[in-house]
Amino acid sequence: MDLLDFARGPALTAALSVFVFGVAWRLLSLFLLPWARDPSPRRADARPAWVGAVRGFARHLWPRKPFARASMLTTVNGYVMHLGLAIVFFGLAQHILFLRGLFGIAWPNLPSGLISGVAVVTLGSLALALARRLTHPVLRLISTFNDYFTWLVTFLPIATGLLAVSHLGAPYPTLLAVHLLSVSLLLIWFPFGKLMHAFLVFVTRSETGIAYNRRGVVL
């Protein structure tokens, strides 16, 4: 078994298993926890909880005016990075074929040249996020291993994908194997680090919305 066979077979099987295990564990252990009761009385003019939740989520999609100057760059950069990731992962034919192998469904792919362009932009925006994390005094202070490692496992698939497409640095089978292994690393780290935000960000922001709503704060 060569490196590519390992990456396409056992490595992905193991990584997907760890991913599924970890996500199930983290979500269930979180949602089945006893919820702390909010002792404050519910305001008479409070809207239904679900409205609070939706508003809470929507409100956080964009910074408020007073914070706009300070956080505009991070916000826009965050969108660029996440949209880039999504376009690359769901738009490239090779990726769709991988997903078809898992779920049996497929959709039309985007031109590969476009994907390459988006991938380069995504790589740039990840670099920018790291640069900001390293230079911003407060952000730097509160950053932990989790932040840096999460950054790395997000960065690697894009970087190695681009290397594979451009056949740079090693024979193609090796490049492809390294790309797949980098994705395996992402999948394995996912449930245990802050990548879980992909599931939890909806929960946390809606929770905030519900709590504020109960107290009569209109977000």
- Sign of dihedral through CA atoms 47, 49, 52, 58? negative
* Rounded distance between C-alpha atoms, residue 87 and residue 78, angstroms: 14
Q: Under rule CB under 8 A, which residues in 34-63 are in contact with other proteins?
A: 34
Burial of 168 (0-12, 13-18, 19+ CB in 10 A): exposed
Q: Under rule CB under 8 A, which residues in 80-99 are in contact with other proteins?
A: 92-95, 97-98
* 149: CB partners within 8 A, 6+ apart: 189, 193
CB 132 within 8 A of CB 172: no
By the rule CB under 6 A, 170 interacts with ligand HEM: no
Taking the least distance from each CB to other proteins, the nearer of 37 and 65 is 37
Given the rule CB under 8 A, which of 48-56, 78-86, 109-117, 198-206 is the region that contacts other proteins?
109-117
* Rounded distance between C-alpha atoms, residue 66 and residue 167, angstroms: 47
CB 195 within 8 A of CB 38: no
| Contact residue for ligand HEM among 11, 54, 80, 165 (CB under 6 A) | 165
Q: How far is the CB of 66 from other proteins (least distance, A)?
A: 39
Residues binding ligand HEM (CB under 6 A): 74, 78, 82, 85, 88-89, 92, 94-95, 98, 112, 115-116, 119, 129, 133, 147, 150-151, 154, 157-158, 161-162, 164-165, 176, 179-180, 183, 195, 197-198, 201
